[in-house]
A = this chain, B = another copy of it.
Amino acid sequence: MFGHIDYRNPPELCPVRDVMSVASDQWSILILLWLGYFQVLRFNKLKKYVYGISNKVLSQRLKILEADGYIERKAYPEVPIRVEYNLTEFGQTYVEKLLELAEWMHDNSPKVIANREQYGLN
């Protein structure tokens, strides 16, 4: 692992860092987690669950996540158009990892918040 992340390589030459910077992006994580929970979601539903994201960033992240192979986009030529997003099989395996992370966050965020407040007192 650490042999592989050669610290002397500029970031753009380290594929692990490159891939990680997309997959560990705050909005991407939330998008993937909600897709993991619902299986299929349309653009506006996603926007609703990934609370606070803008159209612009949602649309941009969905494109990257599709390009990287985590999700699939299906457009139905109805009117108004219907577009559905879902995880790929590959995306599923990643979401399993993310769920562990999210669970850790869920269990430990009170502690972090407490730390943060105590630190503020100094």
Chain A positions within 8 Å of B, measured between CB atoms, are 1-2, 4-5, 7-11, 15-26, 29-30, 33-34, 37, 48-52, 66-69, 90, 93-94, 97, 99-106, 108-113, 115-116, 119-120
Contacts and interface: CB of A to CB of B under 8 A. Distances in A.
Copy number in this complex?
A: 2
A85 to B, nearest CB: 15
Nearest to A98: B101
A23 B42 CA distance: 29
A119 to B, nearest CB: 4
11 contacts: A1-B102, A7-B34, A7-B51, A9-B51, A23-B112, A66-B119, A67-B119, A68-B112, A69-B111, A69-B119, A94-B104
